[in-house]
Structure 1
C-alpha cells in the first residue's frame, strides 16, 4: 500500500506544489514548501490562524501564519531547546516551554528572531538513576491543568535501568516505568485519558479524575501488531469529538484512526514519507489534521538520529475531508501569579 501511495504522490507532486493527493476520500496537502529538520509539537491558534511548533534539532520555535503563508522562527535566550510550545491564556506574547525537566514561560511576539526568557514555573525531580531524561510532550487537560511525559535519551533501548520515564501531572508522576511517554489526549465526554506508550507499542486507556488528576482502571485499547520494521512505533496521537483516536506511526508513514471502544482500525491515512512524528487538529472548524514529519528523525530503538532524504520529509502536512472534528487547542494557565 505504501509503495502504491508513493507512485500516486510522485504524480501529484508534478501537478502541484501543495496539493499532494486526493486519496480514498481525503485530501493531503502541504502547509508550505519548506522543510525543517525535526518539526515536532504543534499547537493551532484559532485567533491568529497560526500553527505554532517546535524544531527540536534546530533548537527553534516557529509560527506558520496561514494568512501570510509565511514562517517565523526564533531561538530562545541561552540557546534553550524545547519540545513543546503552548500559548499562555490571558497573556499576550507569552508561551509555556520546557528545558531539561523544567516548565517555563518565555516572551515572543511571533516575529522576532529571539524569544526572551521570562520565568520558571516548576521543575520535576527525576529518579536518581535517570539523570538524562527530559520532557517529551506537554499538554493542558480539559480543566486546564498541565500533564506531561518524559523520555530517555536512549529511548526504547532495552538495556537495564531504562524504564525510568514517566507520565506527570505537574510535578507528580502518575504513571511510571516507561521508556518514552508519548502523546496523550482526553475523551472529554467520558473522562478517559489515552496515553501512547511508544516503546511498548500500545495505547493505554485510563479513567481520569479531573478533581485529583489521578488516573486508574488501566486498559490497553490498541496494540501495534506486526510492524513492517522494528523502527515503527506509535508516538503522536490526538482524539476527535466522536471519541476516535488518531495515531501517528513513527517511521511508519501513516496515521491510523482507531475506535478505542472496539480496538478496531477505522481508517488509514498514508503520507509520502516514513518519519511521521506528531499530529494535532486545527483549522477554522477544527476539522483539519496537521501532521509533522521529520527530515532528521530518531531511531527510537536506540535514540540515535539519522537523515531521511526522501522527498517531502521534514514537511508539515494537512489532511482534509476526514469527516471528523477535534477539540480546540487549550492554552497554558500559569501557576505563578505576578503582582
Structure 2
C-alpha cells in the first residue's frame, strides 16, 4: 500500500449533523449534499468558497439530493419513503416540495430511503433501510432502480442499510454497498438497459478489522476504475482496486464517521468527503472535507432524467 502526500482540509462552514450524498454539479460548479436528519439541503459554491443551506418545508428527512435534468431549480430528494421534487434556487433558506415522483415500501412506516444516485444515463438507483431499533441488525430494506415514466424496480431485497453506489462504464460494473454486510458488491451492468446482474463480493471489510468490523458507507469511482469506500466508524476512505480487492491507499480523515465521497472541483480531482456527528463526536465531526493531491480524477454527478 503506497502512502502519498495528499492534503485534507475542511470546507469552510460546511457542518451537517449527518452530512451525506455529495454530488458534484458541473454546470453550477457546486457540490450538493444533505443534512439528512434535519431535511437540510446544502450547496457548496466552489468559486465563492461558500455553503448555501436550505431546510425543506414540512419534511423530516433529506437523504439524498439529485439535480434534475434541464430544470435548474428542481431536485429529486429522498424524504422518508418518497422521492420528491423540491424547488430550490440554490440560495434561499427554504425549499418546497412540489410533487412526489414515486414512493417505495409504503407499508413499512419505520423504513426510510437512504443513499441514491443517478447512473451514467440519468436513471435513479437507491434503496431503503430500517430507521428504528438497532439499524445494523435489520434487513428490511430494498434496492431499486427507476427511470422516467416507469415504476420503481426492486433489484435486491433483504437489504440492511442500502448505501454506496458507483458505476464503471468501461468495466461494465455497478458497485453497491449494504453496510450491514460489511461488503462491496460488483454487479455486471448493462448501460443501455440499466440492468444489473451477477453480484459478487469484491471487498470485505471484515477481513481488515475482524475484531470490530468497519461499516462501509458511501462510495465513488475514479477514471482508472478504482473505488473509494467511506467507513462510517473508521475515520478512513479506502482506495481499492476492485479487480484484486487490494487496498491501494488509506485516506485518513480527522473524524471517525465518514459517510460518503464524490470527486469534484473544476478538474474533477478533488475528493469531497462528508461526515456525521452522531452520538456526540468531538469536533470536527460533521464537517465536509476536501482531499487534494490524490493524483486521481473522478466523474461528475449526472442529472436525473424525469
TM-score of the pair, normalised by structure 2: 0.91
The corresponding residue for 1:114 is: 94
Partners of 1:102 and 1:123 within 8 A in 2: yes
Of 162, 168, 171, the residue aligned with 1:190 is 171
Of 308, 311, 315, the residue aligned with 2:281 is 308
Runs of 5+ consecutive residues of structure 2 not aligned to the other structure:
147-151
SS state at 1:199 partner = helix
What is the CA RMSD across the aligned residues, in angstroms? Answer: 1.8
Quickly say closer, same or farther: Cα 1:77–1:33, change in 2 above 3 A.
Answer: closer
Q: Does residue 19 of structure 2 align to residue 46 of structure 1? A: no
Q: Does residue 66 of structure 2 align to residue 94 of structure 1? A: no
Partners of 1:155 and 1:180 within 8 A in 2: no
For 2:77 and 2:191, locate their aligned partners in 1 and report how far apart those are by CA, in whole Å. 23
The corresponding residue for 2:302 is: 330
**Shift of the alpha carbon at 1:24?**
3.0
SS state at 2:299 partner = coil
The corresponding residue for 1:269 is: 251
**Shift of the alpha carbon at 1:204?**
0.6
For 1:208 and 1:52, locate their aligned partners in 2 and report how far apart those are by CA, in whole Å. 26
The corresponding residue for 1:13 is: none
For 2:213 and 2:186, locate their aligned partners in 1 and report how far apart those are by CA, in whole Å. 24
SS state at 2:38 partner = coil
Partners of 2:23 and 2:300 within 8 A in 1: no
Q: Does residue 120 of structure 2 align to residue 142 of structure 1? A: yes
Report how many aligned residue pairs link the two structures: 297
Runs of 5+ consecutive residues of structure 1 not aligned to the other structure:
1-22, 297-305, 335-339
The one-character-per-residue Cα deviations of 1:278-325 (angstroms, maximum 9, x if unpaired) are: 1111011111100011122xxxxxxxxx1102x321111111111111
**Shift of the alpha carbon at 1:260?**
0.7
For 2:15 and 2:120, locate their aligned partners in 1 and report how far apart those are by CA, in whole Å. 33
The corresponding residue for 2:263 is: 281
For 1:133 and 1:207, locate their aligned partners in 2 and report how far apart those are by CA, in whole Å. 28
For 1:244 and 1:236, locate their aligned partners in 2 and report how far apart those are by CA, in whole Å. 14
Quickly say closer, same or farther: Cα 1:68–1:115, change in 2 above 3 A.
Answer: same
The corresponding residue for 1:233 is: 215
The one-character-per-residue Cα deviations of 1:242-277 (angstroms, maximum 9, x if unpaired) are: 110000111100100000111111111101111111
**Shift of the alpha carbon at 1:231?**
6.6
For 1:169 and 1:56, locate their aligned partners in 2 and report how far apart those are by CA, in whole Å. 21
Of 133, 138, 141, the residue aligned with 1:165 is 141
For 1:47 and 1:284, locate their aligned partners in 2 and report how far apart those are by CA, in whole Å. 10
Q: How does 1:244-259 map to 2 (within 5 A)?
A: 244-259=226-241
For 1:192 and 1:34, locate their aligned partners in 2 and report how far apart those are by CA, in whole Å. 32
Quickly say closer, same or farther: Cα 1:104–1:35, change in 2 above 3 A.
Answer: closer
The corresponding residue for 1:36 is: 16
For 2:295 and 2:136, locate their aligned partners in 1 and report how far apart those are by CA, in whole Å. 38
For 1:30 and 1:94, locate their aligned partners in 2 and report how far apart those are by CA, in whole Å. 28
The one-character-per-residue Cα deviations of 1:68-124 (angstroms, maximum 9, x if unpaired) are: 222211111223421011111111211111222211111111111111222211112
Larger radius of gyration: 1
The corresponding residue for 1:5 is: none
SS state at 2:298 partner = coil
